[in-house]
Amino acid sequence: RWLVVLPENAAEHPWATGASEALAQTGAEVVELRVGADEWTRSELAARLRALDVDAGLTGVVSLLAFEESEHAGHEGVPAGLAGTVALVQALGDAGVGARLWAVTSGAVSTGRSDVLESALQAQ
């Protein structure tokens, strides 16, 4: 089982469905957790994780929260995706989820001169 955590408003991003589909094609059971901006706190995420009861047999967690590049409401200059990812790491521990976390970005780094850097905020 894999848990895919993504922003509620990321449904249009090609990676939002692509990550789940790629995992499913390998035979994995995929559980998606879509979180709204009001749920991007340590306590809210931990509660949602506990409610899913996902730790049993969980292979890994894929976070697409970095795709949310808007500014975090409570922290000027901090991308919401960064704050959400930090909260998710803490919430996974609080909920007793020991599976590895993969934090996915898109366009956050360049691999060469011809590779355009499109989303530097996701690299934070």
What predicted TM-score, i.e. pTM, was given to this entire model? 0.84
What three-state secondary structure class fits 18? Answer: helix
Specify which residues 6 forms β-bridges with: 34
CATH of the domain at 40: 3.40.50.11460
Mean pLDDT of 20-28: 91
Domain of residue 52: give its range. 2-123
Share of the chain above pLDDT 90, in %: 38
Q: pLDDT tens across 46-78, in order?
A: 999 999 877 677 899 999 998 776 666 777 777
Mean pLDDT of 68-94: 82
Average pLDDT along the chain? 82
Number of domains in the chain: 1
**Is 27 within 8 Å of 83 (Cβ atoms)?**
no
Question: Which residues are CB-contacts of 109 (< 8 A; sequence separation ≥ 6)?
Answer: 117, 123
